[in-house]
Chains A and B, each alone.
Chain A
């Protein structure tokens, strides 16, 4: 469902160091060069090196570009909708062209529809699409609820950037009188701007996302509050802002080409509970993520933290987990 296998190459980026070491080894061995086996090994190394460089560019250089490896076709035609709208404008009200790239579940293609709509300076992208839905095209599907940036429903891609539609002002984000809205493509597509979150939720559920206490009876009876200092609170507080909107997963270049990687949202929540002084699962949480498919697949591209609308900084949380694991494995703690 996700990406073409070609770009699995990016998975090998962390291995860049391996061919380099092998090259050094081979240079030492050049003196003995001459057997066929050596030549084969040399060619294999060269291939791996090219692969790694390409994937490095994929992950670190091109991450702002819409992913070219996306296994999704786009219909080149644009369907223009015409509606009778009041066309008077002033400094507070303008006519904006909204281009919505809608996923068609039948054709499995993205189809661009364009609408003209009156927008005032307070309109968010969400307000604007709802206005279109109510007056011009009731078939548009999108997810929304609180419209104040806390329920996490309306993650989508506006002018190429993963954002919450309800927090994105149209006037401030339009380019030459138009704005382009597309679904997140880091999750399976369902319809129009709506994506499927089942896989995302099961990843979150897989990391034991709750306070673990040795004494469950005491936990649930809750006769007395746990004492927690302001300093202890500050250790996990930023990571507890996660609204599960899925934008970090959409932005992450690694999880999008390597479905085995659990992704930034789930890992940030491991850190959220691990850093909470009330949690007693302790190092078991570190064991849980000390795996190639968990923290060690993170390449620290930082796209997740850049995309997060609530300032969670999943990239930091993953590096903190890595640091703790390394410290523990080397017996420092």
Chain B
């Protein structure tokens, strides 16, 4: 085992992780030592797949937009579950983040006078989504990676898979990871830790997310005894390509695309008369599933999946090439359909984890004791639940969230490091890490006979079938049973690959363990929330129930048990009202 000492260790290299690294480095005058630990090559994190854009009130004078309006759109989109103080931070800071990306080289689409162009997005009353074609996340990632490379005090550990977070008395001690290149086990000791590992949409089989979106950081935090919040809220993106699940950005509708059922009707008229296709994602996803259930969808011959059409054929080819080039390329390459000539087959797919590690408005992870943050720990981006998205995120708010809380965490780290005494017992941390190493080695030598990929397959099928857009209590109970069964079977898995070089079989086995744990939390939270709010739509309880459920679910592991509790939602300016679009 190799022991490495740093001032701060950042787990994950997406937008959240890299913005944290940059701001911590700049704020610390490039003097503190930072490690970025990532299971991929740092520039390949799932943030690259973000397509449509980033929200922010850039030009209030020209567009009559205000930060209050952005904040209210977000709160209303969240079905009033968002913490409003957090939403105000987001709306106030988002525009600065867009300008920051401009200064580090993102190739924003521009207006005729050279300013940053913005386009309409679901649930936003005014076009306030800045974009770089339909590869916004990719361009932001490349700019951030290129910045980090030039900083000098940030060491990137590519392809290191984290296996545990070590804490002592509510304080961060260290992080263990396996170097995938040679299976060397490493302990990163540091004063500060930022978890930025993204969401866990791969608990579903039909998902827009990368194979790597397995929620590792959320699972590690959960196992370390840290609380998770609102995990039952999973966003289903309305327009994922059938059969692969590849994301067709909401911008396709923002630029004028229509949704049509098998009669050719623009069915959104029935569900959201004023917003039509640009209603928030939970509403559009439910509309699509309802159309399909009522027999107005199509059936995909090869996969058996039902779908409706996303129609872009009336859009100008030049507009497609300037603003949506990637989805055109993807459609042609993956299903041989040019969206300019034919409508695309789409259906809702798991897309975003609204819940995550329970953090306060400063991005600090909350410890066991209510109201007190764990010392030296932050969670930013999709894996941290602030909560700005509540029960349903608006499109293009995720990139702002990653950037805003990346900056907040990054700016706080140098001060924290300066004030935190050493105090910890380094030798005790090492011996705990050695135990963790022994656990991993035992997994490699285990004599089980269960193929972990089979568990992954049945987990994903369970979630796809039973915990989808509409949920029913009896189906959720079935899902709970199935997940518990999978957890038991996981104890008997077998890792076939015993090699040291790039042992992805071992990595996958660990990821699948993370997915099973998180699926359990999602299902349990869903069973207990007996209402319909945002992305959580219960067939038996079709109404939002503010009296009993205007509160965040907190899930925590005690021993081997999951314990649920609830905390209130912060409401500053906007009292909950009925949500109509």
State the interface size on chain B (CB cutoff 8 A).
Answer: 67
Q: Is B114 touching A153 in the complex (CB atoms < 8 A)? A: no
Q: Does A228 contact B (CB under 8 A)?
A: yes
CB-CB contacts of B304-344 with A at 8 A, as 1s and 0s?
00000000000000000000001001100111000000000
Q: Is B211 touching A147 in the complex (CB atoms < 8 A)? A: yes
Distance between Cα atoms of A137 and B110 in the complex (Å): 49
Contact residues of A: prevailing secondary structure: loop
Q: Nearest Cβ in chain A — how far from B357, in angstroms?
A: 22
Distance between Cα atoms of A237 and B301 in the complex (Å): 39
Q: Nearest Cβ in chain B — how far from A208, in angstroms?
A: 7
Q: Nearest Cβ in chain A — how far from B492, in angstroms?
A: 15
Contacts of B456 in A (CB 8 A): 134
Determine which of A105, A135, A146, A210 lies in contact with B150 in the assembled complex, contact meaning CB atoms within 8 Å: A210
Known: A124-B334, A233-B110, A242-B142. A141 touches B211 (CB 8 A): no
Q: Nearest Cβ in chain B — how far from A26, in angstroms?
A: 51
Q: Is A204 touching B247 in the complex (CB atoms < 8 A)? A: no
Q: Is A150 touching B49 in the complex (CB atoms < 8 A)? A: yes
Determine which of B135, B146, B499 lies in contact with A209 in the assembled complex, contact meaning CB atoms within 8 Å: B146
Q: Is A146 touching B453 in the complex (CB atoms < 8 A)? A: no
Contacts of A145 in B (CB 8 A): 40, 44, 46, 210-212
Contacts of A109-154 to chain B: CB distance below 8 A: 120-122, 124, 130, 133-135, 137-139, 141-153
Known: A122-B334, A209-B149, A219-B103. A150 touches B211 (CB 8 A): no
Distance between Cα atoms of A134 and B451 in the complex (Å): 8
Q: Does A88 contact B (CB under 8 A)?
A: no
Determine which of A142, A237, A243 lies in contact with B504 in the assembled complex, contact meaning CB atoms within 8 Å: A142
Q: Nearest Cβ in chain B — how far from A154, in angstroms?
A: 10
Q: Nearest Cβ in chain B — how far from A266, in angstroms?
A: 12
Q: Does B539 contact A (CB under 8 A)?
A: no
Q: Does A167 contact B (CB under 8 A)?
A: yes
Q: Does A65 contact B (CB under 8 A)?
A: no
Segment at the A interface, from B94-102, B286-294, B382-390, B472-480: B94-102
Contacts of B441 in A (CB 8 A): none
Contacts of A42-76 to chain B: CB distance below 8 A: none
Q: Does A197 contact B (CB under 8 A)?
A: yes
CB-CB contacts of B23-51 with A at 8 A, as 1s and 0s?
00010000000000000110111101100
Q: Is A151 touching B114 in the complex (CB atoms < 8 A)? A: no
Segment at the B interface, from A3-11, A188-196, A251-259, A299-307: A188-196
Known: A153-B40, A153-B44, A227-B113. A147 touches B210 (CB 8 A): yes
Q: Is B44 touching A225 in the complex (CB atoms < 8 A)? A: no
Contacts of B457 in A (CB 8 A): 134
Contacts of A233 in B (CB 8 A): 107-110
Contacts of A222 in B (CB 8 A): 96, 99-100, 102-103
Q: Is A211 touching B499 in the complex (CB atoms < 8 A)? A: no
Known: A222-B102, A240-B139. A148 touches B107 (CB 8 A): no
Q: Does A244 contact B (CB under 8 A)?
A: yes
Distance between Cα atoms of A188 and B508 in the complex (Å): 24
Q: Is A205 touching B149 in the complex (CB atoms < 8 A)? A: yes
Contacts of B181 in A (CB 8 A): 190, 196
Q: Is A240 touching B333 in the complex (CB atoms < 8 A)? A: no
Known: A148-B330, A205-B149. A120 touches B302 (CB 8 A): yes
Contacts of A120 in B (CB 8 A): 302
Q: Nearest Cβ in chain B — how far from A231, in angstroms?
A: 10
Closest to B22 in A: A220
Q: Does B119 contact A (CB under 8 A)?
A: no
Contacts of A169 in B (CB 8 A): 333-334
Determine which of B26, B99, B158 lies in contact with A197 in the assembled complex, contact meaning CB atoms within 8 Å: B158
Q: Is B211 touching A230 in the complex (CB atoms < 8 A)? A: no
Closest to B456 in A: A134
Q: Nearest Cβ in chain B — how far from A210, in angstroms?
A: 4
Q: Does A32 contact B (CB under 8 A)?
A: no
Distance between Cα atoms of A225 and B115 in the complex (Å): 8
Closest to B97 in A: A222
Most A CB within 10 A of own CB, among B40, B146, B158, B508: B146
| 5 cross-chain pairs, A with B, having the tightest CB-CB distances, nearest first | A134-B453, A227-B114, A191-B501, A151-B44, A139-B497
Extra 15 A-B pairs, beta carbons < 8 Å, given A210-B146, A222-B102, A240-B107: A134-B456, A141-B502, A146-B48, A146-B210, A150-B135, A152-B41, A153-B44, A169-B334, A209-B149, A210-B147, A219-B104, A223-B99, A232-B114, A240-B105, A243-B138
Give A contacts to B, CB under 8 Å.
Answer: 92-93, 105, 120-122, 124, 130, 133-135, 137-139, 141-153, 167, 169, 190-192, 194, 196-197, 201, 204-205, 208-211, 213, 219-220, 222-230, 232-233, 236-237, 240-244, 273, 276, 278-279
Q: What are 17 inter-chain pairs, A to B, with CB distance below 8 A? A: A122-B302, A145-B40, A145-B212, A148-B49, A151-B46, A190-B502, A196-B181, A210-B143, A222-B96, A222-B100, A222-B103, A223-B99, A225-B115, A240-B142, A243-B48, A243-B138, A244-B43
Give B contacts to A, CB under 8 Å.
Answer: 26, 40-41, 43-46, 48-49, 58, 96, 98-100, 102-105, 107-110, 112-116, 135, 138-139, 142-143, 146-147, 149-150, 158, 181, 210-212, 243-244, 246-247, 301-302, 326, 329-330, 333-335, 451, 453, 456-457, 495-497, 499, 501-505, 508
